[in-house]
């Protein structure tokens, strides 16, 4: 359902992603692991259409559509979702108002006030959030953990077919991590795929991936099953650098 071919991305004239290939099938969970600065977050943002990044080569298709032809909102309507590493704070816009606008936009229909209220309350329960949370301004004054829960809450509301999770686990304590994982597992099924971008393998204990890829210097240098994550945990990224650094420098084809 998602196909990335030879993707190249620049930011402010500097090449960050240097020819990346990835294919994610229906119902698959992929983990992309890598050290800081390997281009993981750039990949996540480019998938969703962040205006700051310039795609200089390659292609991304999702559900058969060229995503570069689509605005971020159109990508969302097609089923893509990005859980942000650093979500924006939007003062004056309540979580409830934001969720209502987002859900109605994605579904292209107006839910009644009652249906919307129930939907929000149900999903907040799964995320173990206080109902009053809905009245707070979007991410304003939220703790790191609240922001991440709020991201997953949005995901549950929008029910995407592809979720990209950009370091959703970073900065979370074990309880919060479990809640976040529970939210993701809630959607898990044959119609839900995910790309979990992370520095640590910790989150993968709770959300079991089908495939693990290692990203280094703007490319995926090796791939495997979930055991690759454990290898990485044992050996560290220095091992990846030694093992694959040279080939990364050489580029692929």
N residues, the chain: 253
User: Applying CB under 8 A, which of residues 13, 92, 141, 253 lies at the interface with other proteins?
Assistant: 92
Beta bridge partners of 162: 80, 193
- Using the minimum distance from each CB to other proteins, give the nearer residue, 137 or 237: 137
- Using the minimum distance from each CB to other proteins, give the nearer residue, 154 or 201: 154
Q: Is 60 exposed, middle or buried (0-12, 13-18, 19+ CB in 10 A)?
A: buried
Q: Please identify which residue in the block is written with the tokens 């490319």.
A: 219
Q: Does 141 contact other proteins by CB under 8 A?
A: no
SS3 state of residue 97: helix
User: Applying CB under 8 A, which of residues 9, 29, 82, 216 lies at the interface with other proteins?
Assistant: 82
Distance CA 44, CA 153 (A): 19
Q: Does 75 contact other proteins by CB under 8 A?
A: yes
Distance CA 31, CA 47 (A): 15
Binding flags for other proteins, 156-185, as an x/- string (CB under 8 A):
--x---------------------------
Beta bridge partners of 60: 4
Give the contacts of 20 (CB within 8 A, at least 6 positions apart). 4, 6, 7, 8, 39, 43, 58, 215, 218, 219, 220
| Least distance CB 139 / other proteins (angstroms) | 9
User: Applying CB under 8 A, which of residues 13, 91, 141, 253 lies at the interface with other proteins?
Assistant: 91
Site residues for other proteins, window 191-250 (CB under 8 A)? none
Q: Does 111 contact other proteins by CB under 8 A?
A: no
| H or E segment to which residue 7 belongs | strand 2-11
SS3 state of residue 215: strand
Q: What is the DSSP secondary structure assignment for residue 189, as one 8-state letter?
A: B
User: Applying CB under 8 A, which of residues 62, 81, 133, 192 lies at the interface with other proteins?
Assistant: 81
Which of these ranges, 42-50, 58-66, 179-187, 228-236, lies near other proteins under the rule CB under 8 A? Answer: 42-50
User: Applying CB under 8 A, which of residues 55, 93, 96, 119 lies at the interface with other proteins?
Assistant: 93
Q: Does 105 contact other proteins by CB under 8 A?
A: yes
Can you give the binding site for other proteins, defined by CB under 8 A? 48-52, 71-73, 75-77, 81-82, 84, 87-93, 97-98, 101-102, 105-106, 137-138, 154, 158
């Amino acid at each position: 359902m998602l196909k990335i071919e030879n993707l190249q991305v620049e930011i402010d004239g500097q090449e960050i992603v240097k020819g990346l290939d990835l294919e994610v099938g229906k119902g698959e969970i992929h983990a992309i692991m890598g050290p800081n600065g390997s281009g993981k977050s750039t990949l996540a943002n480019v998938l969703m259409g962040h205006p700051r990044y310039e795609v200089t080569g390659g292609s991304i298709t999702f559900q058969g559509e060229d995503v570069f032809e689509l605005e971020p909102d159109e990508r969302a309507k097609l089923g893509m979702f990005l859980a942000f590493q650093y979500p924006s704070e939007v003062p004056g816009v309540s979580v409830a108002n934001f969720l209502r606008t987002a859900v109605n936009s994605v579904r292209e229909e107006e839910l009644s006030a009652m249906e919307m209220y129930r939907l929000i309350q149900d999903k907040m329960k799964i995320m173990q959030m206080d109902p009053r949370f809905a009245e707070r301004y979007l991410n304003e004054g939220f703790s790191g953990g609240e922001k991440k829960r709020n991201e997953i809450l949005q995901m549950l509301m929008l029910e995407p077919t592809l979720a990209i999770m950009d370091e959703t686990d970073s900065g979370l304590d074990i309880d919060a991590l479990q809640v976040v994982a529970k939210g993701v597992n809630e959607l898990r099924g044959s119609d839900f795929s995910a790309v979990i971008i992370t520095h640590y393998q910790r989150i993968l204990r709770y959300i079991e991936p089908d495939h693990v890829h290692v990203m280094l210097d703007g490319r995926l240098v090796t791939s495997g099953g979930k055991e690759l994550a454990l290898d990485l945990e044992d050996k560290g990224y220095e091992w990846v650098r030694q093992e694959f650094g040279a080939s990364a420098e050489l580029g692929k084809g």
